[in-house]
Amino acid sequence: MDIRELHRTVDTADLDLWYGSFQALRRVTVSIRQGLITAMIGPSGCGKTTLLRCFNRMNERYGNARIAGHVRILGRDVYDPDVSLIELRKRVGMVFQRPNPLPLSVYDNVAFGLRVHTPRARRSRRTEAEAVETALAEVGLLDAVQGRLRRKGTELQLEQRQKLCIARLLPLKPEILLMDEPCSALDARGTEAVEELLRRLRGRYTIIIVTHNMAQARRISDECVFMLSGEMVEHSETAAMFVNPKDRRTEEYIEGRYG
């Protein structure tokens, strides 16, 4: 296998997507490298969230989405007929704009993923407890919720809720974490805490983050994908893109002339 292939966790080839008659993605070909944080930026309605949702096939919830082209995760075309959405989503986790912990205890929130993927007979209280503790420690929430694991996840502070939403993905050992503007509901302190967390997760997971906040993309990402009107305009290293954009449209966006 080509050594470059190994580094590709998420690939698209000539990806088109229509919502009804509206074309939201046009011939998007992008390949995202393993273990890095890739930010997707662009003005509202440019298709960055739509693209993100193709990676775990979330667009299908919106009945009228049609797709052409390929999306490969870890080399496998996820639109193949024998791909199970349940298995796909186990490996490709997603974090949303508004933190959406389940109306369960903090513990049950983190254990939820394991439980839905393990037959009752093979569940073990000990492995579950260990996985929950590891995940909470990994997102830096363990100390904050220690002794309060039975409290409802929906009662935590906003920033802790978002961390909980990240933590609940980890016991499933996902390869890829998709983040759809994970900080847009948070205040400056919360944003900083989540960004700090992303930096710590970097390397272990491939992280793709959609953000409308260019400064944030610049702070935390290794690579940047700039999208406009459903097209992928530029994909380069973040440092390079912000200093020396290749495309004139990227340059104008970064300078704040539109968007």
Partner 1 sequence: MNDPVVPAPALSLFRATSFTRKKIRVQKAAGILFGAMACALLVPLLALVVYLVVNAWPALTWEFLTDVPQGGMRRGGIWPALIGTLYLVVFSRLFSTPVGVLAGVYLNEYAKDNWLTRVVNLAVVNLAGVPSIVHALFGVGAFVIFAGLGKSVLAASLTLAIMTLPVMIVATREALAAVPMAFRVACWNLGASRWQTIRTIVLPNSIGGILTGVILEVCRAAGETAPIMFTGAIFFKAVERWDFFPYSPREQCMALSYHLHAISTQVPGVPEPMLYATAVVLLGFVLAFNSLAIVVRFRMRQRKKW
Is there a contact between 70 and 8 (Cβ–Cβ < 8 Å)?
no
Name which position in 32, 41, 58, 177 contacts partner 1 (CB under 8 A): 58
Neighbouring residues of 172: CB distance < 8 A, sequence distance ≥ 6: 90, 91, 93, 113, 114, 117
Q: Are strands 8-19 and 22-33 parallel, antiparallel or unpaired?
A: antiparallel
Cβ atoms 226, 250 nearer than 8 A = yes
Site for partner 1 in 172-211 (CB under 8 A): 172
Which of residues 94, 197, 209, 232 is near partner 1 by CB under 8 A?
94
Q: Which residue's CB is nearer to partner 1, number 172 or number 254? A: 172
Cα–Cα distance between 28 and 42 in angstroms, integer?
A: 14
State the nearest-atom distance from the C-beta of 100 to partner 1, in Å: 4
Among 6, 68, 116, 137, binds partner 1 (CB under 8 A): 116
- Shortest reach from residue 40's CB to partner 1, in Å: 18
- Least separation in angstroms between CB 14 and partner 1: 26
Structure tokens at 177: 């974490």
212 has which bridge partners? none
Task: Give the integer Cα–Cα distance in Å for 73 and 80.
Answer: 11
Q: Is the CB of 89 or the CB of 249 nearer to partner 1?
A: 89
Q: How far is the CB of 42 from partner 1 (least distance, A)?
A: 23
Question: Which C-beta is closer to partner 1: that of 95 or that of 197?
Answer: 95
Distances (CA, A) of 72 to 29, 79, 112, 232: 11, 8, 27, 17
Note whether 163 binds partner 1 by CB under 8 A: no
The interface region with partner 1, picked from 3-11, 15-23, 35-43, 163-171 by CB under 8 A, is: 163-171
- Please report the sign of the dihedral spanned by the C-alpha atoms of residue 191, residue 193, residue 199, residue 200: negative
CB 214 within 8 A of CB 43: no
Among 10, 47, 73, 93, the residue binding partner 1 under the rule CB under 8 A is: 93
The DSSP string of 14-29 is: EEEEEETTEEEEEEEE
| CB nearer partner 1, residue 54 or residue 228 | 54
Q: Report residue 167 CA to chain centroid gap.
A: 13
Element (H, E) at 51: helix 48-54
Nearer to partner 1, 42 or 174 (CB): 174
Q: Is 152 in the site for partner 1 (CB under 8 A)?
A: yes
Q: Tell me which stretch binds partner 1 (CB under 8 A): 111-119, 187-195, 229-237, 242-250.
A: 111-119
Q: Which residues bind partner 1 (CB under 8 A)?
A: 56, 58, 61, 63, 85-90, 93-94, 96, 98, 100-104, 112-113, 116-117, 152, 154-155, 165, 168-169, 172
